[in-house]
């Protein structure tokens, strides 16, 4: 899959800014930059990891001279020689003024001088192909760029440093050691015995499966860290749903009035709480109504609730519960939910105890875990800190520490882990059924190959291309 042609791209955002960067990587970068750079020295003769002041000039095709052409821009050019570069190849970065026009002009001249436009993610793809990083680290690069919260960034940086790679490499080393032992013993039975080896292998497989199980289980927290919590706010009209959204966002995002049914359609907003991202949807108040448009909003609210990671049910604690509350509660107690008893600044008549009894009655007195209930006032903005703490405990099981813990945030990696787990389960079945030892090695190698998909050691070209096509241009 290696490609040594020289690629170029704009590596900063296409918007007017203080500085812009045009990046080149490949065998011909110094030949190309010498054609368009005017400074105190030829950059092909410059030491590695040095920065040079000068000007980018219009490219002059061989045999032609462009007279009296002014420079395109005054620039600083960074020279980096292989292998001590991001891609592992010779690399040049042109730091220019950040106008979109000047960036485009410089890139066009770089391409005229011999470079080809880079594909999305092609610089990182080359870093992967040149052994500068494994596939899990490459995927962490785009996760760093796309991080939406503190935990997502910490997790991505941890993976970029090799936390997933190190864990997977350790597991693969154990698997290949025992596979090699079995294969060697089968080739030389006179000198190496596998009698009773099944029990030894069972202990090793059990240990590996336990580790794989922990990694697979971490994917739930990993998805929460990376993508955020899909959150739906439910409640009757005028319960304070839109007021809650405004408090959480810190701005008047939703229209708030005393008129029931003000919110007809859904409002979506991303909120940061305790380092977590909540993708919040404020919905129409749930009640029986003859208004066709409001009725559509109510049905849409129920639809969103059924697919949510979290439901925040806002109750007006100053009013009696009714059949509309019962309808909402039937949705709430089947899913991960938090109940907010709003308007605690008024004379409230609904308490946590009354609410929990109502839920138990609707559940036909079945014993289930209580739904967290918090007294709040959106008017006085009280109780929000308690809500944040409950959310953190509910979704992250306490504090997340990125130093030692590995969180799987990638569905491709989770699938590979599950495949490896299933292959090892077949090994245990073969041991239990006292099958010949070569059956062990077949399934051990399947597990080894599956784990290799995570680090990229067994990944095919099509999959690699698909992964890197999702990267942004210039990375």
Please write the tens of the pLDDT for every residue from 150-172: 778 888 888 888 899 999 999 99
Calpha distance 90→231 (Å, rounded): 47
Confidence of residue 256 (pLDDT cuts 50, 70, 90): very low
Number of other CB atoms surrounding residue 320 within 10 Å: 9
pLDDT over 90 percentage in the chain: 38
Query: Exposure of 34 by Cβ count < 10 A (0-12 exposed, 13-18 middle, 19+ buried)?
Result: middle
Q: Is the pLDDT of residue 60 over 90?
A: no
Q: What is the pLDDT of residue 349?
A: 86
pLDDT over 70 percentage in the chain: 89
Task: Provide the 8-state DSSP code for 49.
Answer: S
Residue 284 sits at φ, ψ, to 5 deg, of: -65, 145
Calpha distance 39→36 (Å, rounded): 10
Confidence of residue 260 (pLDDT cuts 50, 70, 90): very low
To the nearest 10°, the Cα dihedral for 412, 417, 421, 424?
110
Are the C-beta atoms of residues 320 and 327 closer than 8 Å to each other? no
Q: Is the pLDDT of residue 410 over 80?
A: yes
Domains and CATH numbers, the chain: 7-134 (3.30.1360.120), 141-223+406-468 (1.20.120.430), 227-396 (3.40.50.300)
For residue 8, give the H/E element and its range.
strand 7-10
Calpha distance 253→300 (Å, rounded): 20
Confidence of residue 193 (pLDDT cuts 50, 70, 90): confident
Q: Is the pLDDT of residue 220 over 80?
A: no
Calpha distance 171→175 (Å, rounded): 6
Q: What is the pLDDT of residue 362?
A: 79
Q: What is the pLDDT of residue 292?
A: 63
Are the C-beta atoms of residues 154 and 402 closer than 8 Å to each other? yes
Mean pLDDT rounded to a whole number for the chain: 84
Q: What would the mean pLDDT of 361-374 be, rounded to a whole number?
A: 77
Q: Using only the alpha carbons of the chain, give its radius of gyration.
A: 30
**Length of the chain measured in residues:** 475
Confidence of residue 281 (pLDDT cuts 50, 70, 90): confident
b/e code 336-348 from CB counts within 10 Å (16+ = b) = ebbbbbbbbeeeb
Q: Is the pLDDT of residue 289 over 50?
A: yes
User: By mean pLDDT, which of 203-207, 397-401, 414-418 is the weakest?
Assistant: 397-401
Q: Is the pLDDT of residue 1 over 60?
A: no
Q: Is the pLDDT of residue 408 over 60?
A: yes
User: By mean pLDDT, which of 45-49, 139-143, 236-240, 384-388 is the weakest?
Assistant: 236-240
Q: What would the mean pLDDT of 192-202 be, rounded to a whole number?
A: 83
Calpha distance 331→328 (Å, rounded): 5
Q: Is the pLDDT of residue 261 over 50?
A: no
Confidence of residue 391 (pLDDT cuts 50, 70, 90): confident
Calpha distance 308→365 (Å, rounded): 25
Task: Provide the 8-state DSSP code for 48.
Answer: S
Q: What is the pLDDT of residue 285?
A: 65
Q: What is the pLDDT of residue 259?
A: 40
Q: Is the pLDDT of residue 290 over 60?
A: no
Secondary structure (H, E, C), 385-427: HHHHHHHHHHHHCCCCCCCCCCCCCCHHHHHHHHHHHHHHHHH
């Amino acid at each position: 899959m290696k490609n040594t042609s020289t690629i170029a791209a704009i590596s900063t955002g296409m918007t007017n800014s203080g500085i812009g960067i045009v990046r080149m990587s490949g065998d011909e970068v110094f030949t190309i930059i010498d054609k368009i750079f005017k400074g105190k020295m030829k950059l092909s003769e410059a030491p590695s990891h040095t920065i040079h002041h000068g000007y980018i000039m219009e490219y002059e095709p061989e045999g032609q001279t462009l007279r009296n052409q002014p420079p395109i821009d005054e620039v600083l050019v960074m020279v980096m020689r292989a292998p001590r570069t991001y891609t592992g190849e010779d690399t040049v970065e042109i730091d220019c003024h950040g106008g979109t026009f000047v960036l485009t002009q410089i890139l066009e001249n770089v391409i005229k001088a011999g470079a080809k436009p880079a594909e999305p993610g092609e610089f990182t793809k080359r870093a992967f192909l040149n052994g500068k990083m494994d596939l899990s680290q490459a995927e962490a690069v785009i996760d760093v760029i796309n991080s939406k919260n503190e935990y997502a960034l910490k997790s991505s940086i941890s993976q970029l440093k090799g936390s997933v790679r190190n864990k997977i490499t350790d597991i693969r080393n154990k698997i290949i050691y025992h596979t090699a032992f079995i294969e060697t013993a089968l080739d030389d039975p006179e000198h190496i015995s596998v009698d009773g080896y099944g029990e030894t292998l069972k202990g090793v497989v059990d240990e590996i499966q336990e580790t794989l199980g922990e990694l697979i289980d971490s994917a739930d927290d990993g998805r929460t860290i990376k993508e955020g919590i899909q959150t739906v706010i439910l409640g009757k009209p005028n319960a304070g749903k839109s007021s809650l959204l405004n408090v959480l966002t810190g701005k008047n995002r939703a229209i708030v009035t005393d008129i029931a049914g003000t919110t007809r359609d859904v409002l979506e907003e991303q909120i940061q709480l305790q380092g977590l991202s909540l993708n919040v949807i404020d919905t129409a108040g749930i009640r029986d109504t003859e208004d066709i448009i409001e009725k559509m909003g109510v049905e849409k609210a129920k639809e969103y609730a059924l697919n949510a990671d979290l439901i925040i049910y806002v109750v007006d604690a100053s009013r009696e519960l009714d059949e509309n509350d019962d309808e909402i509660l039937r949705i709430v107690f089947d899913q991960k939910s938090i109940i907010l008893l709003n308007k605690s600044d008024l004379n409230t008549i609904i308490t946590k105890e009354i609410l929990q009894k109502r839920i138990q009655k609707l559940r036909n007195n079945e014993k289930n875990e209580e739904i967290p209930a918090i007294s709040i006032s959106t008017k006085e903005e009280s109780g929000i800190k308690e809500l944040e703490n409950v959310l953190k405990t509910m979704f992250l099981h306490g504090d997340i520490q990125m130093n030692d813990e590995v969180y799987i945030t990638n569905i491709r990696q989770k699938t590979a882990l599950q495949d490896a787990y299933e292959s090892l389960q077949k090994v245990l079945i073969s041991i239990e059924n006292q099958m010949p030892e070569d059956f062990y090695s077949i399934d051990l190698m399947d597990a080894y190959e599956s784990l290799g998909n995570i680090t990229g050691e067994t990944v095919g070209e099509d999959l690699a291309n698909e992964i890197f096509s999702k990267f942004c241009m210039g990375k």
